[in-house]
Structures are given as C-alpha cells and as structure tokens.
Amino acid sequence: MDARDPITRTRGVGPVLGGRLAAAGCRRIVDLLAHLPLRYEDRRTVGRLPGADDAAVEPALSGALTVVARLENVKRVFGRRRFSRVEAVACDGAARVGVVWFNRPYLAQQLEEDVPYLLHGPLRRRGGDGPWQLSNPSVERIGEEPDDAPEFEGGGVRPVYGRIGEVPPSRVARLAADAIRDLRDSSGPDWIDEWLPREERTKHQLPRLAEALTEVHSPSSEASIEDLNARRSPAHARLAYGEFLLQQLQLAAARRQRRRSGKPHGYRADGAAWTEATGLLPFRLTGGQERVLGEIADDLGRKEPMLRLVQGDVGSGKTVLAALSCLIAARSDLQSALMAPTELLAEQHFASLERLLGCDMTIALVTSSQRVASDGGAVEERIADGRIDLVVGTHALIEERTRFARLGLAVIDEQHRFGVVQRQSLARKGLRPDLLVMTATPIPRSLALTVYGDLDVSILDEMPPGRRPVETRVTTDDGMEEAVEEVRRRLESGGRAYVVFPLIDGGEGTAAELPSLMESGPKWARALAVPCGVVHGRLRRRERDETMGRFADGSIQVLLATTVIEVGVDVPEATAMVILGAERFGLAQLHQLRGRIGRGTDPALGEPLCIAIAGQPSSEAERRLEVFAASTDGFRIAEEDMRQRGPGEILGTRQAGLPQFRFGDLARDWTWLVAARQDAAELLDRLADPANDALRRQLERRIPGLASSDGERGPRP
C-alpha cells in the first residue's frame, strides 16, 4: 500500500464511497491525509458523572467531560415544528445524568442500552442551576461486554474532522485512522517519501513527513492538546514549513531566471538626468520618496528587467515616482504605460500627469469608453507608431487593439485590484519591459512574501509635509446628530465633506436595514443645508465628472457618494467624512476611504475628522472598527485585516496569484514563512546534489522540467 494509491485502496472504501470522495477532490490516500483535523479532544482522563448536588465536577464547566457510562431510556423527542432531539440517561454505576443530542436523529436507532460507551462533551446544568446534562457529546462504543468498561483507561487525544463533500466527519475520522494504520503496517515507519533535506530538518528540529502526518491524525498520548489545537505542534510546523518552502523555491527560481534574462532596451539616465527630472516638480520630494526613487533608478540602470512593488499609504506620493520614471523612459526614447483599475482613477491620473509633465512628454488616455490624447490625433495609431510617450488607461491597455511600438516601462496602480494574469498581460505588450507595481492598500508582510515574492519591495513610510493626521471616531445611529454638527463646523470654515453610503438603493433582508444613498441622501442634504452632489457607480461618466469637478472647485461642499470615491479622488479642501453602515466595510476599505480627507495643508479648514457610524455591528465588526479608530497606520491595519478576514478576502476572489495553502496559515505561521524564504535561495543551489533528488521530484511537480539550457541541474522557467 502506497500513500499515492487511489483512495479505493483504503479499508472500507468501495466504489460508491470512493466516488463521493473523488467528487470532493479526494482521489488518493494522500489527499485524505491532507485533510487535517479541525480540532482535537482530550479524552485521556476519564472522569465520573456528578450527583445531583455534586460540586466536584465544576471545573468541567469550562471544558468537556470524558466518562465511561451505560445508556438508559434512549428515545427520540419531538418539539415544535417537528424538530427533534435524542435523549437518554447515562449511568456510570455511581450517578445518573441526562444526555441530549441535537440534529442526530439516527442515534435513536443506533444506540444500545446497557452497553458501555465512551462519552465526551460539555457538562452543564440545565437552566444554569438545574440538573446536570451532557450536551451533544461524542459517543463511542468501547466493549461488547459490561465487564470491559472497568478496564478502560482512557480515550487518548482524538482528532475531530470536517466533512469531505457528502462524507460525514465521523466516517472521515475512521478512514484516516485506518489509512495511517494500514500504511504503517505495509510500508513501515517511513511510509511516505521524505523530501525535506536532513540539514533543514535538523536546523529547525522538525520531524520526518511520515512521522508528522501520523502525529496529526493519530496523536501520541504525550501530545500537547494546546499545541495541537493551535496548530503549533512540531508535526503541524513540519507540514506548514514544507508547504511554504516549495512555494518559496518556485519564487526563488523565478527571481533567478529574471536576473538571468536581460532586457533589450536601456535608459539614457545618469544622476544628472534624474536631478533634472525632479527639478521639474513644483515641490520637493520627501526623504522616503528620494530613497525609493533611488531604488527605482538602480533597477532601471540594470541589464535585467525591473520587478518592483512600491507600497505606500494613501497620499504618500507613489504616483510622483511613477511619473518621474515615465519621464526618464520618454527621454530614453521608450514608451510607458500606466494601468489603473477604474476609469475614474485612470482619468485622475491622466489629468494630474498632464498638469505635471504635459509640457515634457506626450500623454494619452485609453479606457473602454474613451481614447484621448493630450494634443489630439488618432490615439491608437500614434501609440502603435511610438508617437505617444505615456499611455494611461484601464484594462483597455491589455486589449488586442492597444499596441505599442517600444514599451519599456509598465506601471500598475492599485495592484491588489488586478490579478497576476493582468500584470503579465501588460508586461507581454513589450519585450521584457521594466515593471513597477504600486499599491496604496498596504499588503501584509506574509502576503507580500507569497503573492509578490518575485518582486523587490519598496516601502514609502513618510507622508508629504503638511499632511495632518485624521481623527477617527466610531459611533452608533444615536450619534447621528453630533456627526451632522461636526460636519457643519468644518463646512462653515470653508472645508468640504464626504458622506459615504454602503448602498445605492435599499434592498431586501439585511440590506434593507442599511442606509442607502437614494433614501438617506436627501435627509443628509437637508440637515447640512449646503450645496450637495451625488456620485455613484450607475451614473454616466459625463454626469459623474461634472459633479466631481463642481466638488473640486467648491461649487458644491458635500459629496453624497458610495465607495466609488475610494480611490482617485484628491480634493485638498476635504476635511470631514461620515461613513454610514460602517460595520459592512472591511478594514482596508475603511482606511482607503479615510485617506480621501486631510490631504490639504490649510489649518483654517479645521482638523480632519472621520466619523464611522455603525448600525448593529457584530462582535467581529466591533473589533474591526476599534482597530480602525485606534490607528492610521496602514500597515498595522493591513496585518489586522488579514488576521480577521484571511488572505483570500484581502486580495479578492479575482486575485489569480493567491497561493492556496492547505497546512500553513500566513498570519499564524509567519515565522515559518520567513524561514522558508531564507532557506529557499540556498537550497536552490543544492538541487544538483543527488541527496536532494526527492526534493527535486517534489519541485518538478510544480515547475515542469528542472534542467537548465547549459545541461546543469537547475530550475528552468
């Protein structure tokens, strides 16, 4: 028997059960063993049932009781609306307590009376001070004869599984236990190939793979229940580290290949050229901008293409760095492309870049609805002929009809809104162009090392001078009047304000309880008694642009909007924001919205203030809003956001580059991810060692072919 055999080789798995498991992706025995337990129950200490007034078992109230008992009076009881439960009386020879099972009606036919069972579950007093009761305990028959019960010493540490497709957890548990036992019996203690080199196992004090899988599915009696349930046991660490290491080896191979492939273009840019370019700006760069610009300049000067991610909080000045890089490219007779996720943001970039550098380079806007050049002419032909220096646009840039003559620099803004496929599609528009990726949504360190592990990372950690910190308050609907007064005070000082709604129209169910722009917007306009404008995603572009323009020039003082203003809106006079239904927004989105205010430097406008109004927040939403109010540090917010929501929600379902980890957790296992990244580069050099052939085979499943062009062993793209 081999771990890679079909699942039907497992004891008790016939064609029907095998088909159900295969339909859920569990086709081989190793797939079953990759389905780790959700939690573990400590049944090592067998207790006793309490008497009616027994206080000796009070500690069980904070955990679960394991007891050997016989069952009496097993019956199914029907309640309202035909819901039912199974009830019984458990007796251990000294005391009796009631037992109840919910949502398990089949137990009424399966449980036998006067047969010893191992029961494990929470012990509670009904109604708080009534008779004792075991609630929904697990139940396991331990002997055919009554005399077996006294000899039973304990139930060990038992894994508790989730279901696999239509296969219930109890069946999954039996299958996993049988598979582990049969694999050990047929193949010995090393029943699965060990591919992690001895050096790494020794350095990190990790068990062998077979040992780790055995321990997570059949924990030893000495195992720490706390470590197992926290997934911090040595066995869990071995699985997480191994998974991270394979992924980091892939990224290390990609980085190495990138450094080996040159780019066909170069930049005519020395220190004097960069100094001249920065001299065109009407302001001085911050220290952080100068540092990151130096890193970009070094990249552009190298023979291999740049792949750099620039992270910076809202308003830290990333676009200026991209503009200067595009100017240097234009002066080197190369084209640049800047891709933004929305038309609004693309239009904002086009307008600001034209104002900033329109006299020094030709700029065009390309979106699905319009194609505009700064000085007229047929846009598509001029891009294809190389007469446009910088093309700003949306996904339209990666469409077939947009062709470049000599694309040397590709810039992607708000990278988290694009997938890896879009990033690669834009890069393919040129011949190995330099790639600059920007995001104003700080990415947690662990995500940056995995999703963007093939990129060099720069962090803008300094805000431009004069930017004032934004005070953030969280309140409920009861604080609405106070919020109105705070906004009024800032409007009277000449400031402007945003009122953000979670919905355009009211809806059914839970959405009906949320404030919508169409229903609540007019009430806010009357309460504030100043000229207001409305912006949302359903407006036509011309109407939206007109409203945004009036807000920018002060014709209207308040913008009633949805999250369409999340990015790309820069009005320095905006000093107040109210976010309604704040419990429905994620941390990163709340932080992005807050970044729309406090961008000016005029103290006469009042201190910037953001008020988040939550209707009926859950406990999770309350924690999220507490973090939002306590910090304006985007990186701290990003880390907390990932802890609360997970990496999939952070990057969005469209993010094709998010690795799917079965064993490792990016927040919990951060130290193992760092260790894997550090080990990967060195291990890549040791792949030629025959001792690492097992690792090579594992890596070959992820990178087809591991032979370099010169005949040496090594990763190939």
Q: Is the pLDDT of residue 468 over 80?
A: no
Q: Is the pLDDT of residue 154 over 60?
A: no
CA–CA distance, 663 with 36 (Å, rounded to integer):
8
> pLDDT band for position 485 (50/70/90)?
very high
Using CA atoms, how far residue 48 sits from 45, 69, 121, 149, 597, in Å, is: 10, 9, 13, 13, 63
Q: Which neighbouring-strand residues pair with 68?
A: 118
Better-scored residue on pLDDT, 400 or 202: 202
Using CA atoms, how far residue 537 sits from 32, 254, 392, 503, 556, in Å, is: 46, 39, 21, 10, 19
Task: Return the DSSP state at 684.
Answer: H
Cβ neighbors of 483 (< 8 A, separation 6 or more) are: 475, 578, 611, 613
pLDDT tens per residue, range 35-47: 999 999 888 888 8
> pLDDT band for position 405 (50/70/90)?
very high
Q: Is the pLDDT of residue 445 over 80?
A: no
Q: DSSP for 83-123, please give it.
A: -EEEEEEEE-SS-EEEEEEES-TTHHHH--TTSEEEEEE-E
How many of the other CB atoms lie within 10 Å of CB of 221?
Answer: 8
pLDDT for 711 equals: 32
Using CA atoms, how far residue 390 sits from 274, 346, 401, in Å, is: 18, 12, 17
CA–CA distance, 623 with 224 (Å, rounded to integer):
30
| Average pLDDT estimate for 650-674 | 71
How many of the other CB atoms lie within 10 Å of CB of 200?
Answer: 18
CA 176 to chain centre: 30
Cβ neighbors of 339 (< 8 A, separation 6 or more) are: 346, 393, 394, 395, 397, 398, 410, 411, 412, 413, 418, 422, 426
Cβ distance 312 to 368 under 8 Å? no
Q: Token digits for 484?
A: 């109105």
Cβ distance 158 to 40 under 8 Å? yes
CA–CA distance, 240 with 202 (Å, rounded to integer):
16
pLDDT for 48 equals: 85
> 300, 317, 392: which is closest to 349 by C-alpha?
392
> pLDDT band for position 586 (50/70/90)?
confident
pLDDT tens per residue, range 293-327: 999 999 999 998 998 989 887 778 888 999 999 99
Task: Return the DSSP state at 357.
Answer: H
Range with the poorest average pLDDT among 13-22, 279-288, 453-462: 453-462
pLDDT tens per residue, range 264-298: 888 988 888 899 899 888 888 989 999 999 999 99
Which residue blocks in 451-581 are alpha helix, DSSP H?
A: 480-492, 517-528, 541-553
How many of the other CB atoms lie within 10 Å of CB of 1?
Answer: 15
> pLDDT band for position 715 (50/70/90)?
very low
> pLDDT band for position 152 (50/70/90)?
very low
Average pLDDT of the chain is 84
Which residue blocks in 14-168 are alpha helix, DSSP H?
A: 15-23, 29-33, 107-110
pLDDT for 64 equals: 82
Element (H, E) at 641: helix 634-645
Cβ neighbors of 575 (< 8 A, separation 6 or more) are: 490, 493, 495, 496, 497, 597, 598, 600, 605, 606, 607, 608, 609
pLDDT tens per residue, range 350-365: 988 998 888 899 999 9
> Would you tell me the crossing angle of helices 234-260 and 209-217 to the nearest 10 degrees?
140
> pLDDT band for position 462 (50/70/90)?
confident
> 364, 267, 375: which is closest to 324 by C-alpha?
267
CA–CA distance, 178 with 185 (Å, rounded to integer):
10
> 274, 291, 284: which is closest to 328 by C-alpha?
274
CA–CA distance, 585 with 427 (Å, rounded to integer):
33
pLDDT for 177 equals: 93
Q: Which amino acid is at 601?
A: T
pLDDT for 447 equals: 72
> pLDDT band for position 409 (50/70/90)?
very high
pLDDT for 366 equals: 92
pLDDT tens per residue, range 230-250: 999 999 999 999 999 998 998
| Average pLDDT estimate for 167-173 | 90
Q: Is the pLDDT of residue 116 over 50?
A: yes
Strand ranges across the sheet with 434-439: 371-373, 363-366, 390-393, 335-339, 407-412, 434-439, 307-312, 456-460
CA–CA distance, 207 with 240 (Å, rounded to integer):
12
Cβ distance 172 to 36 under 8 Å? no
Name the pTM for this structure: 0.70
Cβ distance 664 to 672 under 8 Å? yes
Cβ distance 341 to 368 under 8 Å? no
Cβ distance 104 to 138 under 8 Å? no
> 502, 450, 400: which is closest to 658 by C-alpha?
450
Element (H, E) at 625: helix 619-630
pLDDT for 269 equals: 84
Q: Which neighbouring-strand residues pair with 458?
A: 310
Distance from first CA to last CA of the chain, Å, rounded? Answer: 35
pLDDT for 658 equals: 55
Q: Which amino acid is at 250?
A: Q
| Average pLDDT estimate for 386-412 | 91
pLDDT for 416 equals: 59
Rg of the chain over Cα atoms, rounded to whole angstroms, equals 31
CA–CA distance, 167 with 16 (Å, rounded to integer):
11
Range with the poorest average pLDDT among 242-251, 252-261, 426-435: 252-261
Cβ distance 684 to 252 under 8 Å? yes
Which residue blocks in 218-337 are alpha helix, DSSP H?
A: 225-229, 234-260, 271-278, 287-301, 318-331
CA–CA distance, 453 with 443 (Å, rounded to integer):
12
Q: Is the pLDDT of residue 655 over 50?
A: no
Which segments of 342-467 are extended strands (E)?
Answer: 363-366, 371-373, 390-393, 407-412, 434-439, 456-460
Q: Is the pLDDT of residue 117 over 60?
A: yes
| Average pLDDT estimate for 567-593 | 87
